[in-house]
Amino acid sequence: MTLKEYYVKYLSLHQDPVCRRLHVVGNLLTLLYVCYCVSSGAFFALIFAPFIVYPFAWIGHVYYEKNKPAAWSNPVMAKLCDWIMIKDILTGKIKW
């Protein structure tokens, strides 16, 4: 499956605006955490980065979408699609 095809499937699992908002918040907080770890030289702390984003995403899927997160079946493609969705939200392609 190509990334473009997977993104269509990914968006079908992220129809609720609250779920999308939680993904944006979780990913941006994770990005800030990674930047902080790198800038402060605390590289060992980077192993905790996934524990920031996933609670936000899982809450969105369990309580709002009522489905399984895409990361459970294909974590790499799901992470790429996370960032494509965030770009599409920030550029106005997807309503949030």
User: Which helix H or strand E contains 81, and what residues bound it?
Assistant: helix 75-90
Range 5-14 average pLDDT: 97
Cα 17 to its chain centre, rounded Å, is 13
Domain boundaries along the sequence of the chain: 3-90
> Residue 96 pLDDT more than 80?
no
Range 56-81 average pLDDT: 94
Range 48-55 average pLDDT: 93
pLDDT at 77: 96
Q: Which two tokens mark 7? A: 């993104």
Residue 71 binned pLDDT confidence (cut-offs 50, 70, 90): confident
- pTM flag (> 0.75): yes
